[in-house]
Structure 1
Amino acid sequence: MADSCAGNPLSAQQEPPPPRALITAAAADLLRRLQDRHGPLMFHQSGGCCDGSSPMCYPDGDFIVGDRDVLLAILDVGTGVPLWISGPQFDAWKHTQVVIDVVPGRGGGFSIEAPEGLRFLTRGRAFTDDENRALAAQPPVTGADYARGARPPATGSHLVGNAIDACPIPNVPGA
């Protein structure tokens, strides 16, 4: 993946599709603490008006996933954390790799991290043309597919040190 970000796209025939979602080390640390306290968790990224750029974190099963929702990944944190996005939001963001990060502050809504003084935040980067072609050949898993037992293919680790590690800014010293 680092090669494709640095301007040397990998061939879609040579490499499997990239993960549709990543999580920063800081967000994964918070997620592990929340799992210890609350048990299995899930994320849902909606296109709603209120805090729409923030993924909502719930105890797994407390948010009912719709048939058209799309499973971006099962983040490899703890026992695994599904990251869902609404179908219409996925249509708008399918060209974007989602990066779950955490920042100081208190988000709105009912996300489980609200009392921690931190909030999850969605960042992203545009996939390269080769990555988009590879992803197009592998349809995403919808809520209906998931109910029938479908799962997304393994894409390796979803963990990145920092959001910038998902795709370094070209020509910036130290990035």
Structure 2
Amino acid sequence: MRVYGVTGWKNTGKTTLMERLVAEIAGRGLTVSTVKHAHHDTDIDQPGRDSHRHREAGAQEVLLASPRRWALMHELRDAPEPPLSDLLARLSPVDLVLIEGYKRAAHPKVEAHRGATGRPLLAPGNPTIRAIASDGAPDTALPVFDLDDTAAIAAFILREVGL
């Protein structure tokens, strides 16, 4: 499966860039899925809902299905977080999986960067970062794209993965 990531510090525009990349690449006729890594305790379920009650009762997995979508929730119950490769294996086949986060994972990435955050580039210490998408002109030997130039960033990613 072809995978490519978007990484960067908090508040650099990663999610907005991901959203635009999905729309751009899907608009080119390719199928795209996403993986979003969260460092905090996150829940897609709501207390009081039936599926939440099933999980709270001790279910290991709860599959919620409706006429419009389905979602599988898996409780780790103090088990370690699975590696990205295990999670990718659960996805249905698509042309490209875009991954938000997972700074240290081995897949190639574009770093989202905003000068206003005052944070340095991650790229100098991370060889998996292949390009920078920035609102400025950071000092780097890597390709730099305007953070808002979605078409150019998408074209770069698609070239990188051979699509």
TM interval, shorter chain, is: under 0.3
User: Which has more radius of gyration?
Assistant: 2
